[in-house]
Chain A
Amino acid sequence: DGGITQSPKYLFRKEGQNVTLSCEQNLNHDAMYWYRQDPGQGLRLIYYSQIVNDFQKGDIAEGYSVSREKKESFPLTVTSAQKNPTAFYLCASSRWGLNTGELFFGEGSRLTVL
């Protein structure tokens, strides 16, 4: 079945460590996104990518980095510079074009910093 796969589902990290969250899609979508979800704050856009080898900062990009070497993959690295990394991270994808609106989401990765 087509969809978005995020891994790991749960991740624990010590302070000062970088961690990378994986996101893979087999929907043949051009655009991919990373959102962060915190209780009571909804979803906030971290980074997005419209095509391979190109990505743009979202509203809260500080302390995060991404790459887009393949159309199917859009990994997110949470660096030690991110001051409050404990959160639920959601990856999404969509077709590129006039705003069709529908984002397809993965089941998320929950990161806890110990």
Chain B
Amino acid sequence: TQLLEQSPQFLSIQEGENLTVYCNSSSVFSSLQWYRQEPGEGPVLLVTVVTGGEVKKLKRLTFQFGDARKDSSLHITAAQPGDTGLYLCAGVVTNAGKSTFGDGTTLTVKP
């Protein structure tokens, strides 16, 4: 059973469109991270959210942590081809000591 479910699994859009991807769980997380991974490379940390209801912005990316700290979303405004990649969410369950990853959303932005 996957601890973190990400949806959609694949997303292909045109440059300039907006999109939202989701990360859901039945577990409560002390913190949740979003990473972006390119083929043949390791994931790169984008953001960490800690407080329920927290919203963080990183240029055109907006991250939200659910009030109950069980889910999160990533919204991208005016997507660009450079946003193409695998978006992974990862969470730390209280006292677990390690991050557990979802299977990611593969985003393709076409010029």
Chain A bound to chain B: no
